[in-house]
Amino acid sequence: MLAAAACSSTEEPTGVWDTPIVTAVADPNELTPALGNYQFKAGNLLGEIGLPQFRQISARGHSTCGVRIDGALACAGENAVAGEHPLVPASYLPGEFLEIASGGDYACGLLTDGTLRCGGFNGFRQSEPPSGVYTRVTASGGHACALTIEGTAVCWGHNEWAQSEPPAGTYTHIAAGGGFTCALTPTSTAVCWGHNEWGQSDAPDEMYTYVSAGGQHACALTAKSAAVCWGNNEYGQSDAPTGSYTHITAGDFHSCALTPANTAVCWGYNEDGQASPPAGVYSEIAAGYLHTCALTVDHELACWGVMEEPTDMPFDYEPAGFERLFR
């Protein structure tokens, strides 16, 4: 569920919000308790229970959002509301979207006219996107970024580690992580900035076609379709297996990729099964904190792992720049 900004009422919402965009600034220490959290088991194809088909998905933290075939949004987890099904219509972000980026407790979307619309927790003004026309949007924790039609990067929100200060230049792809950001230049090199305690902003010198920024690590696909990861590797999340891949995603402590046969491969932290993908044929994959979601070739959604706050955390960790709804 998207967390509401601080307001005079202490009553918790009981259903779908009708406020389209949250614009007030909330105290990061005063967060609305989350509703509508769901646990997914491996092999649970949500499309089989009558949910709409999707054309794009995004996972971050304990949440996943998707753009439906009709361009509307649906979300589950921290930025979803209580509902009958795991993914419910995100009426707080109305419009027809091309892309959605889940930031965990907020989300930003790219509308069909190229403008941005964000909603949810706004303690760092991450839900206040700049005006303009854009081609790509990405969100993570307390900050978000987008690419203009000219290819320049624009970021907003939390900036403690300068993660919202992109270097001058033009880019073809951008990915926001936990307190850091990475982007690809027109020459296919990776440039990262922001938090760098684990080397997550030190991208290896290589030619890349895609990059994904996670909690404390990043992963990318090389021009030869190999997977390369860097940054924190406490749970093996940066030990990408050898092979050829068509898509890659970096979560908080695990990573996943799709093979040329459209099967899913995951590695890293797996206490809740988030790195154990069910058999299937997928077209897109997105890793969150303790869960992973993927789109089947039929545009149905498959999720595995847990999309809720665990009662017994295996480690004391708060992603850089990320304020959880769960306390």
Rounded CA separation 203/192 (Å): 7
Residue 325 resides in a domain: no
Residue 232 resides in a domain: yes
Average pLDDT of the chain, as a whole number: 78
Give the chain's end-to-end CA distance (angstroms, integer).
15
Candidate from 13-27, 183-197, 258-272 with smallest mean pLDDT:
13-27
Residue 48 pLDDT:
34
Rounded CA separation 195/218 (Å): 12
Rounded CA separation 302/282 (Å): 9
pLDDT score of 104 more than 60 = yes
pLDDT score of 18 more than 90 = no
Residue 42 pLDDT:
28
Domain count, the chain: 1
Q: Residue 85's beta-bridge partner residues?
A: none
> pTM for the whole thing?
0.79
Residue 29 resides in a domain: no
Give the mean pLDDT of 179-195.
98
Scored b (16 or more CB within 10 A) or e, 218-255 reads bbbbbeebbbbbbbbbebbbbebeeeebbbbbbbbbbb
Give the mean pLDDT of 285-294.
94
Candidate from 88-97, 117-126, 176-185, 210-219 with smallest mean pLDDT:
88-97
pLDDT score of 171 more than 90 = yes
Residue 323 resides in a domain: no
Host domain of residue 43: 38-307
| pLDDT tier for residue 90 given thresholds of 50, 70 and 90 | low
Q: Which DSSP string corresponds to 217-251?
A: EEEEEETTS-EEEEE--TTSTT-PPSS--SEEEE-
Q: Which residues contact 190 (CB under 8 A, 6 or more apart)?
A: 182, 183, 184, 203, 204, 206, 208, 211, 220
pLDDT score of 316 more than 70 = no
Tokens 């964000």 belong to residue: 118
Residue 11 resides in a domain: no
> Is 42:11 a contact under the CB 8 Å cutoff?
no
Residue 261 resides in a domain: yes
Residue 22 pLDDT:
23
Residue 319 resides in a domain: no
Residue 11 pLDDT:
28
The predicted-structure confidence for 25-49, as pLDDT tens digits, reads as follows: 223 222 222 222 333 332 333 333 3
Residue 62 pLDDT:
86
Residue 8 resides in a domain: no
Residue 278 pLDDT:
93
Q: Residue 88's beta-bridge partner residues?
A: 75
- Tell which wins on pLDDT, 83 or 174: 174
Residue 76 pLDDT:
78
> Is 133:148 a contact under the CB 8 Å cutoff?
yes
Q: What letter would DSSP give residue 49?
A: G
- Tell which wins on pLDDT, 9 or 310: 310
The domain that holds 44 is classified in CATH as 2.130.10.30
